[in-house]
Amino acid sequence: MRMFMRKDGKQGGPQGGQAIVLIALLILVLFGMLGLAVDSGRAYVDRRDQQSAVDASALAAGDWYENFSDLYGSTLPNAKAVYQSNLHLYGGPTSDVDTTTFVGVGNSLQQDTDIVTYGGGYALTIVATNTQFNGYQFVFTSTHQLPLAFMQLFGGNPNITINATATAIVGNQRQTPALLTLSTDRCSLNLTGAATLTLLGDAYSNGTACVDPNLQEAGNCYGAAGSNCSSATYYCYNSTPGFVPYPPPCNPGDTQGQPVVPAPTLPDPAYLAPSVPYYSAAQFYNPNNRGTWTEMYPGQYGTFHLSGGSGSCAFLNPGVYNWTNDYKSDATGSLLSNELKAPREQNYTAPGTTSTAGIQFWNMNGTNCAGDFSVTVTNGLPGALGLKHRSGAGNWGIELTSVRWDRFIDPTIGPNPCFGSPGCRRESAPSACVSAGTDDVSSAALDVHILKDAPGAQYYNVYVNPNGCDGLQDNFAFVNRFLAPGWNDFGGPPAFTIGPYPNGGAGVILSSGVGGYPCGAPGHTVCAINYSALSPTSLCFAQTRVSNCQAPDNEIGPQCFSSCPPPAGLLSQENGAFSLQYPPYTGGDVANENYCQVSPIPGNPSSPCATAKITPGAVQFYFPNGSCFDQNAQGATYVYSGEQYNWISIYSPPANTCNNTMNGGASTQFIGTIYTPGANWSISGGDRSPLAGQVICYTASVSGGGSVGIDFNPNYSPAPPAARLIN
């Protein structure tokens, strides 16, 4: 054995005990470092797991809300299920507490908070805020009390708090301005002369905006460097659809717009028109093929010029109208529309009475095409078929609605409840009331004469009030559905035309009704009803009419936008608002732009059509390359688009570089978006906002001495971006 000697030759003593102490101390340090590394790694993994869980659940909340608009019924439960699945929390929540508050200026924004706890120290807090135009915002915050494996052995806390948060937004309308010009040239948005342009929504120019104080902007003005947006007059507004802008000072909760210069460019949204190929049939204009009006069919039209003349009215069946060689409307006495209206429209201020609307829709622009009817009494029926009044004699009130079924034949858009025959049912608001009296001893029937057919009507529903025209709309009970003159259906929809097509007259009586109270007397409209049978009435699903159902909602007042109040006797009435179709909701407009098929059960009363794919009766105008649009103020075009066309009412591809003219007048309105990314527009108008939606074009110019309004309404605009994470 080799011995180690000191240099002085003396042998050293044993030193081994000191090394053991040092090694023991070093082991403690190593264990501490190992514990720190293990617990830190576990915390990092836990943080990433929670982050992934809240990211996924926040996005899921946005997707579910976009698809179903049902916060507590589907959105939150499904989002929480995603969170639990990602973190493998199979035991479910141990507590779940919901609260609702109202925040923001004027407490106008609804905020729902859901606090959920789970076993294993997990907690999830969800804050859902309806920020209206800025979308629905979902903030998910996850917290976990992570037990420490090693560090508590060294005197540390037994748990550490690990957090993760994610924010998703859906339905954000901030990047969907009322007017967007895609050109980057100087004055791509140009407002000159004495013209007044009132915008509800943002004006956005990728080039410079050349405006003056006649731009009344209820929103912000965005433009490239050099834009003079500061010259505009900024009005007060809020996010309520159909809000009427007004000059400052602003009321609490309303906002005044401002200039934003310079602003980044907005890209072309590159919208598509996928349904065009399904409407390729060649069509032609056959004047007055329905008496005093023309029924038009979707498809391809060559040169189209709707000129004036007595009764130059055209009712558009739903679909895509491909104007292959220009569209022009320029004369008083013409009106083209897809609106379904009752004959003898009632006055919105006096429903259930004999008062008629100041301007019948189908009489606008000097056309004189509105439907009309009268009621007579026929006595001498067999006793069992006569009408029985409460006191033996008295007045009955009779109202009509126009009814039709329409199909949408693009099979690629789904769900499509209007694809198969007979399609989707539409029913107009009720007519004014017509009174007729009977005496029991005379054993009478009520006969409804169609004096003039309402444009687009295939059927008429008859509603009877045993109290006469008493002004109480809910007292009118559904009696029967009748084929309009010139139609047949072999007992049920769809209806088809038979010729020659009569347009009414004193001899045309509605008879052989179905769906309610059978008359039993051939050639008569209403008989064999006892007074008491018609009461009470009931609110029915909008697609169902059985005995005693109430009629759809009444119309509302004329539009007030750029000219308020609207001039008396100049504008037609508007359709009822969007509403859920099922009781206890009234159903609103069930014929035209505010109608979706079919409102879901359950649905959101504040967004009744948010998940609908089809708007029955909707049309789209398509302009291929080289085909231009010219709307003169003397002509009238009043059309609405719908969900199936992404609410694009006028579409042209980017290669179409036409110079289009929109001189609206009081009888013109396009309800939906104008999307013509390569075309230029010269826009003017009258007392009604000619554009209720959005305009996206290459350049836009408003000039002259008129007034025009662009009323951005998210109900009639393309769907906003899908759900996305913003934090």
Over range 442-459, report the average pLDDT: 95
More confident residue, 72 or 709: 72
Task: Dig out the tokens for 714 from the structure.
Answer: 């998210």
Task: Dig out the tokens for 295 from the structure.
Answer: 């029924």
Write out pLDDT tens, residues 51-85: 999 999 999 999 888 777 789 999 999 999 999 99
Give yes or no: residues 252 and 114 share one domain.
Answer: no
pLDDT at 574: 94
More confident residue, 427 or 723: 427
Element (H, E) at 32: helix 16-68
Band the pLDDT of 652: cuts 50, 70, 90. Answer: very high
Give yes or no: residues 407 and 285 share one domain.
Answer: no
Give yes or no: residues 146 and 202 share one domain.
Answer: no
**How many domains is the chain built from?**
3
The answer, yes or no, to whether residue 3 has pLDDT greater than 50, is no
Give yes or no: residues 382 and 516 share one domain.
Answer: yes
346: in domain: no
Over range 575-590, report the average pLDDT: 91
The answer, yes or no, to whether residue 615 has pLDDT greater than 90, is yes
pLDDT at 16: 53
287: in domain: yes
Give yes or no: residues 153 and 189 share one domain.
Answer: no
Instruction: Please report, rounded to a whole number, the percentage of residues in the chain having pLDDT higher than 70.
Output: 89
Give yes or no: residues 200 and 166 share one domain.
Answer: no
- Which of 53-62, 273-282, 307-316, 530-539 is least confident? 307-316
pLDDT at 249: 94
pLDDT at 29: 62
Write out pLDDT tens, residues 355-414: 999 999 999 988 899 999 999 999 999 888 999 998 889 999 999 999 999 999 999 988
pLDDT at 630: 92
13: in domain: no
Give yes or no: residues 320 and 384 share one domain.
Answer: no
Last residue of a domain, one of 480, 502, 534: 534
Contact 331, 315 (CB under 8 A): no
Strands of 219-285, DSSP E = 221-222, 233-234, 236-237, 255-256, 259-260
Q: Which domain holds residue 330?
A: 179-269+277-335+618-725
Give yes or no: residues 525 and 642 share one domain.
Answer: no
Give yes or no: residues 137 and 202 share one domain.
Answer: no
562: in domain: no
Cα–Cα distance, 535 to 202 (Å, whole number): 51
Over range 260-275, report the average pLDDT: 90
Last residue of a domain, one of 170, 197, 215: 170
262: in domain: yes
Task: Dig out the tokens for 547 from the structure.
Answer: 């005995």
503: in domain: yes
The answer, yes or no, to whether residue 97 has pLDDT greater than 60, is yes
The answer, yes or no, to whether residue 643 has pLDDT greater than 80, is yes
Q: Is 601 exposed, middle or buried (0-12, 13-18, 19+ CB in 10 A)?
A: exposed
More confident residue, 479 or 563: 479
Cα–Cα distance, 271 to 623 (Å, whole number): 14
Of residues 142, 151, 233, 221, the one with CA closest to residue 189: 221
Task: Sort strands 203-205 and 221-222 into parallel, antiparallel or unpaired.
Answer: parallel
Count of beta carbons in the 10 Å neighbourhood of residue 414? 10
Contact 630, 661 (CB under 8 A): yes
pLDDT at 500: 56
Mean pLDDT of the chain: 88
Band the pLDDT of 192: cuts 50, 70, 90. Answer: confident
* pTM for this predicted structure: 0.81
pLDDT at 5: 47
pLDDT at 155: 57
Give yes or no: residues 360 and 327 share one domain.
Answer: no
Band the pLDDT of 274: cuts 50, 70, 90. Answer: very high
Contact 576, 542 (CB under 8 A): no
Cα–Cα distance, 515 to 547 (Å, whole number): 7
Element (H, E) at 406: strand 393-406
The answer, yes or no, to whether residue 721 has pLDDT greater than 80, is no
Band the pLDDT of 153: cuts 50, 70, 90. Answer: low
The answer, yes or no, to whether residue 710 has pLDDT greater than 90, is no
More confident residue, 685 or 431: 431
Task: Dig out the tokens for 353 from the structure.
Answer: 């009475």
Instruction: Please report, rounded to a whole number, the percentage of residues in the chain having pLDDT higher than 90.
Output: 59
77: in domain: yes
Over range 557-562, report the average pLDDT: 80
The answer, yes or no, to whether residue 288 has pLDDT greater than 90, is no
436: in domain: yes
| Angstrom distances, CA of residue 344 to CA of 126, 374, 428, 430, 653 | 53, 10, 12, 9, 41
Residue 681, sorted as left (phi over 0), alpha (psi -120 to 50) or beta, turns out to be beta
**Residue 689: CB partners within 8 Å, gap ≥ 6?**
198, 559, 561, 562, 669, 708, 709, 710, 711
pLDDT at 154: 56
- Which of 254-268, 418-432, 646-660 is least confident? 254-268
Give yes or no: residues 254 and 375 share one domain.
Answer: no
Q: What is the 3-state secondary structure (H, E, C) of 464-494?
A: EECCCCCCCHHHCEEEEEEECCCEECCCCCC
pLDDT at 175: 58
- The H-assigned helical ranges of 380-486 are none
Give yes or no: residues 302 and 358 share one domain.
Answer: no
Task: Dig out the tokens for 453 from the structure.
Answer: 């057919």
pLDDT at 264: 86
Write out pLDDT tens, residues 334-349: 899 999 999 999 999 9
Last residue of a domain, one of 534, 561, 587: 534
